Amino acid sequence: MWVQQLGAALEPVSVAAAPLVGPAWREVPAFTLVFAAIFFAALPFWHYVVGVNWKKAAILSSCSMSSVHGLLCALGGYEQLLAWGTFQPDAPNTYPQKLLNEFSLAYMIADSFLFLLPWTPDDVVFIVHHILSSTYLVGCLLNGHGAIGCIMMFFLGEVTSPVFNAFSISKELRHHSKAAFRVFNMMSPIFTIAFIGVRSIIAPPITAWFVYRLWFSSPLLPVAWRAAMGSCIVLGMVASQLWSFKLLRGWSKQHRRGAQLAAEQKRE
C-alpha cells in the first residue's frame, strides 16, 4: 500500500511529532507536510508557468492535493476493503487502516487551512464537507475502532476523484486554453454520470446499511461517537444528493444551450 510506504519514509518526522500530538494521530503532521509541499509547489506552477491568477492557482493547487489524496485513498481503500471479512463497523483499527485515516485527516487539514479558509471562505459546502469528514476521522482515530468503515465511505467518495479533478481543472482553465475547453466539454457529462451513478444510485443503499450497523450493532464504539459519526454520514449523503441535482441541472442547461446554438446555426 502506497500510503504505508509513504508513512515508512516519513517515520523520522512521525517519531519527532509523536510526543507533541500523541499516538492516535502520530503520522498526521508528517502527512500534512506532504500535502502542504504539494500545494506550495503547485501554486507558483499554475500562476507563473500556466499563467492564471493567484486565486485560480490556489484552486488548481487544491485540485493537485485532491488528486494525490484521491488516488492513494482509493487504491489503499480498495485493498483494505477486500480484506474486510467481518463487515463490522466498529472493528479494531489495524495499522494500515489507521494510516489511511491519518492520511485523509491530513488532507482535510491542509486543504482547509491552505486553500478553503484563506481563498474561498464563502464555500460553505466544501467547508462543511471537510468538517463532517474530519469529525468521522477523529472519532475513528480517537477510539481506536471503526477505521474500516471510514475507509469504505472515503472509497465511495474518492473512486470518482480522477474524473472530478479532471473536470475541476479543465473547468478552471476552459477560458485560458482551447484544449482545456474541449476537455471540459468532454468531462462534464462523464463526471455528471459518474458522480450521480456512485453517489445517488450505488452509495445510498450501502450507506443506509452501514449507518444502521453503526448505530445499532457497534458496541465497541461509545454511543455518543456512534451518533455523531452516523449523523456525519447522513448529512454527507444529503449533501451529495443536492450536488447531484445541481450537476444534473447544470448539464441539462448546458445541453439545451448547445442545442439552441446548433439550431440557430442551421437556420443561418
243 phi/psi in degrees, rounded to 5: -70, -40
Return the axis-axis angle of helices 95-111 and 124-143, rounded to nearest 10°: 150
Per-residue pLDDT of the chain (268 residues), as tens digits, is 789 999 999 999 999 999 999 999 999 999 999 999 999 999 999 999 999 999 999 999 999 999 999 999 999 999 999 988 788 899 999 999 999 999 999 999 999 999 999 999 998 888 888 999 999 999 999 999 999 999 999 999 899 988 999 999 999 999 888 999 999 989 988 999 999 999 999 999 999 999 999 999 999 999 999 999 999 999 989 988 988 888 888 777 776 776 676 666 666 5
- C-alpha to C-alpha distance for 159 and 188, rounded to whole angstroms: 17
Q: What is the pTM of this model?
A: 0.92
Question: What is the structure's pLDDT at 169?
Answer: 95
